[in-house]
Chains A and B, each alone.
Chain A
Amino acid sequence: MIKTLEYLSLLIIPLFILFTVLYGSFKKVRVYDSFVAGAKEGPAIILKIFPYLLTIFVAIKGFQASGAFDALRDAFYSLFGFLEIPIEAVSMAIIKPLSGSASTALFTDIVQTAGPDSLATHMSAVIMGSAETTFYVLAVYLGAVGIRKTRYLVPVCLVADFIGIVIAIIVTRWFF
């Protein structure tokens, strides 16, 4: 079942590209020239995003390396200790919004140390699957159009992230 779905999702992009170029040709578009003209816009966009990405990445890496991340995790852990959430899941809950590659590395580590069928693994898996790398998305999407006034967007995202993680924990408890 999962294998079939995985195959289908692998099929989507190639089929979409095939359909696009065939439809384009059918409409007498010179697809090669169109593609080149579009691709030409790529570098300008990345140039716009790069400084935002750099700024946020420096802050995230520094936050992890300084020990502030560990302190935040321990604080959350003792604060919500009465809920008996595995500390691995608390780590995952904090790291997922910050960094995609770090959360993948952490998840692999949790699976190895806590075992693939443990509660810590299941909870981390649900958090990892249902949360998004919020800071990266914010930096890239806001940077792409040079938004400086974000109004109340950042608080909304942080509150929504927190609620999302609570939901992930509740759902895991309910299932496993």
Chain B
Amino acid sequence: MNVLWLVMICVSIVFAIVTGHLEAFTKSIFDGAKAAVEVSLYLLGIVSVWMGITRILEDSGLIYRIAHLFKPIICRLFLNIPGDHPSITAITLNVLANLFGLGNAATPLGIQAMQDLDSLNEEQGTITPEMMTFIVINTASIQLIPFSVIGILAGYGSSNPAAVVLPVLIATAISTLTALLVLAAFRRVFR
């Protein structure tokens, strides 16, 4: 992240000077800050709601039942998760929310999953292989039906808005698989 951020900032400033976008660049810094505040406030609401729901899941023991149910699938991808650990439930619910395009639920559940995975982390501050797998699955985006895209297409009078459903499904399935393969390849090299 360090290198990426450094490159982005330096390249941007050099470009701003060369192309004469200095004013726009300076303004954009404050726009970025404003966007971060807005997104954080939005997240504050939905994350708190999901934390509340998750607490009920924990107190009623349902979280362990769900974990037990999905353990056979999840533990194939995440090797070092013990028994009926709560992280299995959070990961399962996050993946399901992503599949059904429920963005409002996916992010809070993903945060929950990261925290549960971090409770298994022996070296705080350093990423674990399980976290990497989880993040790679999330950045590859697995979605069954892209409702927002279809909505926009339909709104502008597309002859068949649903025509994109199958291509998106195929593309997202292949790219999620390749993302996991890329991760596995890097894991081999940087062991």
Q: Footprint of B on A, CB under 8 Å? A: 1-2, 5-6, 9, 12-13, 17, 20-21, 23-24, 26-27, 29, 31, 34-43, 45-46, 49-50, 53-68, 71, 101, 104, 107-108, 111-112, 116-117, 121-122, 125-126, 128-132, 134, 137-138, 140-142, 144-157, 159-161, 163-164, 167-168, 171-172, 174-176
Contacts and interface: CB of A to CB of B under 8 A. Distances in A.
Q: Please name the 8 residue pairs, one residue from A and one from B, whose CB atoms are nearest each other, closest first.
A: A38-B55, A42-B48, A129-B146, A164-B175, A132-B141, A65-B28, A61-B32, A129-B168
Say whether chain A's binding surface is mostly helix, strand, loop, or mixed: helix
A20 B53 contact: yes
B186 A50 contact: no
B167 A175 contact: yes
A154 B4 contact: yes
Nearest to A6: B147
B51 interface: yes
Contacts of A43: 44, 48
Contact of A54 (B12, B36, B105, B135): B36
Given A65-B28, A147-B125, A161-B139, A38 B52 contact: yes
Interface in B98-129: 100-102, 104-105, 107, 110-111, 114-115, 117-118, 121, 124-127
Given A13-B102, A38-B55, A53-B39, A160 B147 contact: no
A130 B172 contact: yes
Given A24-B59, A131-B141, A160-B183, A66 B16 contact: yes
Interface string B52-85: 1111111111100000000000000000000000
